[in-house]
A and B are shown apart, each in its own frame.
Chain A
Amino acid sequence: MKLKLLSAVIGTALTMGVAGASAATLDDVKARGTLKCGVSQGLIGFSNPDEQNNWTGLDVDFCRAVAAAIFGDGKKVEFVPLDATQRFEALKSGEVDVLSRNTTWTMSRDTTGGMTFAGVTYYDGQGFMVKKSLGVDSALKLNGASVCTQTGTTTELNLADYFRANNMTYQVVAFQKNEEVLAAYNEGRCDVYTTDQSGLYAERLKLPDVENHVVLPEIISKEPLGPVVRQNDTQWFNLVRWTYYALLTAEELGVTQANSAEQLASSTNPEVARLLGKEGDFGKGLGVENDWVMKILAATGNYGEIFDRNVGEATKLGIKRGVNSLWKSGGLQYAPPIR
């Protein structure tokens, strides 16, 4: 009886706590004056601190964009570095307002966990890296290759499916730890190294001879990474989601960090006028100022600029846009119209 009573009290406290944290996040954030954004504890190109104590990376810049939409200032973010095991609890308990931490969008996470994914800021998936000297330019030419991978992950299963579906044979060389896989690949114990593509680019930088290795264009699995918010707060969900769409739309319309002011003043394109807040009350509908996109662009630039600055071909990672191109260029990044 006592136990039942105790568990009932704890249960009520839990639900009250969760309810307290999820109601009107936007008002809480505005009252607090900073956005609390959960990021990774150090992931090349996505979130890491630089020497001047600034956080940098694609996930980090998305947080800045959200903060800029709310406050007009991309600096009003408190970055909370989160471990993979505690990230969802941190979001649900209200320790962070938005989780932008290379989290894969899956059905179970979306439907059962009390969370909602707001978009896909980076389409990742399993890829292959080979030595340039092999002369291979497509994963379909890997028949008979030996492949280094980590044991006990879905990576191994995806690999088996892909090779069987394409009628190719392969030999798997599996290891317990990521470092061992890389070392084995470096020592030439296998021809191919497979893991998530963004991971391949990052691991490549740890090889002594970066320029002699190439990441093949094929992606054989779906790992859509995106920001997550708490369920049951539609206003907040909309704000995060449309921040992402605004970044895409700005790139599509050619509005950049540098030319946004000029575009606002001189563009005759009605789509640009709506995006930048010259026409309509689109910002008001989200609960922020109408010039929200101007503020976002001033803080981070559009999606393409964020991508290029943090992971793109000009950076040391050198990731190609590939499936992360806009839909117009044959990629998957697509935003509904702002109208």
Chain B
Amino acid sequence: MTQTRNNIAFVRTADAPLLPAPRNMTGVVGWMRENLFPTPLNALASVLIGGFLIWQIWGVIDWALVRGVFFGEDREACITPPREGVQPGACWAFIGAKFHQFIYGFYPFEERWRVDVLAVVFAGLLAALAVPRVPYKLYTGITFVFGLPILAEILLYGGTFGLAAVDTNKWGGLLLTMVVAVSGIVLSLPLGVLLALGRRSEMPIVRYFCIAFIEIWRGVPLITVLFMASIMLPLFLPQGMNTDKMLRIIIGVALFSSAYMAETVRGGLQAIPKGQYEAAKALGLGYWRMTLLIILPQALKIVIPGIVNTFISLFKDTTLVLVVGLFDFLGIIQAGAADQKWVSAETARSGYFVAALVYWAFCFSVSRYSIHMERRLATGHRR
């Protein structure tokens, strides 16, 4: 035994240095091995789905960029093959020529700065509200809810302060989509909260009124509401008492989505344990203080996904205003594609592509922001 001990020439006194993991277990290769090709079946699925995606994405890139037509005066540009035997792709020249119309509709050219000013103010206020670090949230909020509509009235509609009046039938495109969607959203949330509270009220008249309101508005399709607002209402009103069509549509959309909002909020109210109500009452809070300070902050936080869901569907439902003769973003693209100066095999397709992209961008950013809000407001009830 001693012999062997003496024969040891080297005794390691420290740990051997850690070798890096095998190269095929780390980095991109390792990630792919672990996530894309762990078993033969998974590998096959990865190859098939990946191949399909690449094929599809290449198809879009080829159509949109490689074969796309970016410059041109009229449809000739979009029907001329870029090379021998190659079909021309997306007609971006059409989008370029009509872009201002997609944004402003028929808003007079010389008055468009008013829309731009409003858009900047809107974006600024929204950013001030959305970014947590910016102070004075309360004042910004009040300005947003009460000041902005007045400013929008003054700027968009005009007729005061030396601004020329622009009738609502000149509004269109993204401007109209935003006006209808934003006013619908801003009006429907408070209305929905009130209706949800009313539906849980202990006063029978309030409760039955709210139930009837919600069930009637939820029970009819939005398209019926729009028809009612645009065509039937003027029949009932006496001649000359014709309110603006756009206003009627906005009110219709807001009432319609407030019914959905009410049910979403009611879901949140029901999720609050009874103990919260009892604790609030035990502290001596009255109904309104209990609701505003204890119940609603918790309930609304729970239903953020539902509220955002309603917002997103309202935003997309604004495309329905086309059936009552208002040109929203999608409608004006369709009308533009019927211009014989531009009509070609790819014109309408390019227009729809842009429409899809814009709607998706709006809805996706709203959705991301709501996820951010959920995380920020999470107070550790997660298990």
- A: residues with CB less than 8 A from B are 13-14, 17-18, 20-21, 41-45, 48-51, 53, 56, 78, 80-83, 85-86, 89-90, 93-95, 202, 205-208, 210, 315-317
**Option from B87, B109, B334, B341 in Cβ contact (under 8 Å) with A42:** B334
Q: A44-B340, A48-B335 are in contact. Are A18 and B325 (CB under 8 A)?
A: no
A206–B345 contact, CB under 8 A? yes
A50–B339 contact, CB under 8 A? yes
Instruction: Check B252 for interface membership: any CB of A closer than 8 A.
Output: no
Q: Closest CB of chain B to A210's CB: distance in Å? A: 7
Instruction: Check B337 for interface membership: any CB of A closer than 8 A.
Output: yes
Q: A43 CA to B109 CA in the complex, in Å?
A: 24
Q: Which residues of B contact A50 (CB under 8 A)?
A: 339, 341
B231–A89 contact, CB under 8 A? yes
Instruction: Check B79 for interface membership: any CB of A closer than 8 A.
Output: yes
Of chain A, the residue at the smallest CB distance from B326 is A81
Q: Which residues of A contact B97 (CB under 8 A)?
A: 51
B236–A86 contact, CB under 8 A? no
Q: Which residues of A contact B101 (CB under 8 A)?
A: 49, 51, 53
Q: A81-B327, A83-B323, A315-B340 are in contact. Are A41 and B236 (CB under 8 A)?
A: no
Q: A86-B324, A205-B340 are in contact. Are A80 and B169 (CB under 8 A)?
A: yes
Q: Which residues of A contact B336 (CB under 8 A)?
A: 42, 48-49
Q: Which residues of B contact A56 (CB under 8 A)?
A: 339
Q: A41 CA to B321 CA in the complex, in Å?
A: 12
Which of B87, B232, B238, B340: most chain A Cβ within 10 A?
A: B340
A208–B79 contact, CB under 8 A? yes
Chain B at the A interface: SS class: helix
The B162-207 residues at the A interface (CB cut-off 8 A) are 169
Of chain A, the residue at the smallest CB distance from B333 is A42
**Option from A45, A78, A207 in Cβ contact (under 8 Å) with B340:** A45
Q: Which residues of B contact A20 (CB under 8 A)?
A: 238-239
Q: A97 CA to B230 CA in the complex, in Å?
A: 16
Q: Closest CB of chain A to B79's CB: distance in Å? A: 7
**Option from B98, B235, B331 in Cβ contact (under 8 Å) with A17:** B235
Contact with A along B228-242 (1 / 0, CB 8 A): 001110111111000
Instruction: Check B151 for interface membership: any CB of A closer than 8 A.
Output: no
Contact with A along B69-95 (1 / 0, CB 8 A): 000000100010000000100000000
Instruction: Check B271 for interface membership: any CB of A closer than 8 A.
Output: no
Q: A13-B235, A93-B235 are in contact. Are A85 and B323 (CB under 8 A)?
A: yes
Q: A87 CA to B350 CA in the complex, in Å?
A: 29
Q: Which residues of B contact A206 (CB under 8 A)?
A: 343-345, 347-348
Q: A53-B101, A90-B231 are in contact. Are A44 and B343 (CB under 8 A)?
A: yes
A80–B339 contact, CB under 8 A? no
The B309-333 residues at the A interface (CB cut-off 8 A) are 322-325, 327, 331-332
Q: A115 CA to B89 CA in the complex, in Å?
A: 46
Q: Which residues of A contact B323 (CB under 8 A)?
A: 83, 85-86
B87–A208 contact, CB under 8 A? yes
Report 13 cross-chain contacts, Cβ distance below 8 Å, ordered by A residue.
A14-B236, A17-B237, A20-B238, A41-B334, A42-B336, A42-B338, A48-B336, A49-B336, A50-B341, A86-B227, A206-B348, A316-B340, A317-B340
Q: Which residues of B contact A95 (CB under 8 A)?
A: 230-231, 234, 245
**Option from A44, A85, A89 in Cβ contact (under 8 Å) with B338:** A44
**Option from B238, B324, B339 in Cβ contact (under 8 Å) with A83:** B324
B231–A93 contact, CB under 8 A? yes
Q: A190 CA to B363 CA in the complex, in Å?
A: 42
Q: Which residues of A contact B217 (CB under 8 A)?
A: none
Of chain A, the residue at the smallest CB distance from B234 is A93
B337–A42 contact, CB under 8 A? yes
B234–A78 contact, CB under 8 A? no
Instruction: Check B106 for interface membership: any CB of A closer than 8 A.
Output: yes
Q: Closest CB of chain A to B31's CB: distance in Å? A: 42
Q: A86 CA to B337 CA in the complex, in Å?
A: 22
Q: A18-B235, A53-B101, A90-B325 are in contact. Are A81 and B79 (CB under 8 A)?
A: no
Q: Closest CB of chain A to B333's CB: distance in Å? A: 9
Contact with A along B340-363 (1 / 0, CB 8 A): 110111011000000000000000
B322–A41 contact, CB under 8 A? yes
Of chain B, the residue at the smallest CB distance from A203 is B343
Q: A21-B239, A210-B79 are in contact. Are A205 and B343 (CB under 8 A)?
A: yes
Q: Which residues of A contact B79 (CB under 8 A)?
A: 208, 210
Q: Which residues of B contact A81 (CB under 8 A)?
A: 325, 327, 335
Q: Closest CB of chain B to A151's CB: distance in Å? A: 22
**Option from A13, A83, A93 in Cβ contact (under 8 Å) with B322:** A83
A82–B325 contact, CB under 8 A? yes
B98–A13 contact, CB under 8 A? no
Contact with A along B39-82 (1 / 0, CB 8 A): 00000000000000000000000000000000000010001000
Q: A82 CA to B327 CA in the complex, in Å?
A: 10
B341–A316 contact, CB under 8 A? yes
Q: Closest CB of chain B to A173's CB: distance in Å? A: 20
Of chain A, the residue at the smallest CB distance from B245 is A95
Of chain A, the residue at the smallest CB distance from B74 is A316
Q: A49 CA to B341 CA in the complex, in Å?
A: 11
A41–B335 contact, CB under 8 A? yes
Q: A86-B231, A86-B323, A208-B79 are in contact. Are A49 and B169 (CB under 8 A)?
A: no
Q: Which residues of A contact B340 (CB under 8 A)?
A: 44-45, 48, 202, 205, 315-317
Taking A42-B336, A94-B234, A208-B87 as given, write out 13 further A-B residue pairs in contact, using a Cβ cutoff of 8 Å, ordered by the A residue number.
A14-B235, A42-B337, A48-B336, A48-B340, A49-B336, A53-B109, A83-B322, A83-B325, A86-B325, A95-B245, A202-B343, A206-B344, A316-B341
Of chain A, the residue at the smallest CB distance from B99 is A51
Which of A85, A207, A316: most chain B Cβ within 10 A?
A: A316
Of chain B, the residue at the smallest CB distance from A208 is B345
Q: A315 CA to B169 CA in the complex, in Å?
A: 29
Q: A51 CA to B335 CA in the complex, in Å?
A: 11
Q: A83 CA to B338 CA in the complex, in Å?
A: 15
